[in-house]
Amino acid sequence: MSIFKTTRRVAVSLIAAAAATIALQANAGGHGIDLEGKTVEWIIPFSETGGSAKWANFYAPLLSEALPGQPTVVVKFMPGAGSTKGANFFQEQSYDDGTLIFGSSGSTQFPFLLGDPRVKYDYADWNVVLASGTGGVAYLPPELAAKMDGLDASGLQGEDFIYGNQGATRLDLVPTLAWEMLGLNVESVMGIKGRGDGRLMFERGEANIDYQTSSSFLSGVTPLVEAGTAVPMMTWGSLDADGNIVRDPTFPDIPTFKEVCEATAGCETSGEKWDAWKAFFIAGFPAQKMVFLPNGASADAIATYTKAFEDVQARADFAEISSKRLGKYPQMTGAAAETAKASATSVSADAKTFVVNWLQEKYGVSLN
């Protein structure tokens, strides 16, 4: 998938979304529903240990303060079936009074993109009110990190690695494909409930390679790095305005996968495999987490939640507290959130075909 096509698609989506947002705001006039005395249930389709939990738990009290009536916002975890259990549940709900929202992640988006038969949900039915970008950091034990020669990962190619994997069609396909491109022999232990469980495997010595999204790395892995038991290997990077992969703004001193790949013999940053990796990276990280209202949500409800998240981001302390908990990434509402949703829920046919075939060959997962 070319960057030109991606950028053009995003631009078209942005124009359409902007028009829709202007009409919505004119119709709803800001806060349109009152939630005083109510409890908002925020469904997260993962366990309490991962990045989605940290993201939702960060936003929940701030959202409570910003919503009209200051309702209690309760995060409810609903893991299972690679996050499709919670997403399928949300798909079955229809809008009532604004007291139900859903938090999606790349690991929910990927099964949708790949046509996973467990998926009974459709993002077109959901109303996005926030989209959060994030990054990811891969890391190693110090004895293995020492085998890298600067950015060159060739010294790791003779090692045997074990990785705690949430599932073949989950966001974990981004790191596992990257490691394969680097020529690493990584065995996935499938079925962990969340990336936090993968980190615990690493801490117990049951895994010797891992990655965490930025919020989980900041809270859970930084202490390991400071203690000398983990060493950052690379980030997945971020996208600049032209769609190029650049260093992650939260971790500017850590090289990107693109840099490591360019320095490692046999790893190519062009061609079919690279294009597929980049397409799913784009779908999985720049808009990695999103908040939705269910099907049938009123314009008033969408405007209420959009305004609430905008008010949260307008707080004087937001930049400081969010950078420490979530990292330095865009937090998007309105037209920008609609554009992010469009980018996160579509990939090229070529990228999808490559990944579907790769999953069949590598894991025996049939999605055809």
CA distances from 69 to 35, 40, 292, 298 (A): 5, 11, 20, 18
Q: Is the pLDDT of residue 298 over 70?
A: yes
Sign for the pseudo-dihedral over CA of 262, 265, 270, 275: negative
pLDDT at position 81 is 85
Q: Is the pLDDT of residue 23 over 60?
A: no
Percent of the chain with pLDDT over 70: 91
pLDDT band for position 204 (50/70/90)? very high
pLDDT at position 356 is 96
Instruction: Name the range with the highest mean pLDDT among 55-69, 104-118, 187-201.
Output: 55-69
| Mean pLDDT within 125-150 | 97
Helices (H) and strands (E) in the chain, counts: 15, 13
Could you read off the pLDDT of 225-254 as tens digits, one per residue?
999 999 999 999 999 989 899 999 999 999
pLDDT band for position 368 (50/70/90)? low
Q: Is the pLDDT of residue 24 over 50?
A: no
| Average pLDDT, rounded, for the chain | 91
Percent of the chain with pLDDT over 90: 82
192 burial type by CB count under 10 A (0-12 exposed, 13-18 middle, 19+ buried): buried
pLDDT at position 13 is 46
Q: Domains, the chain, ranges and CATH?
A: 3-134+286-349 (3.40.190.150), 136-283 (3.40.190.10)
Q: Which distant-in-sequence residues (6+ apart) come within 8 Å of 247 by Cβ?
A: 235, 237, 238, 254, 255, 256
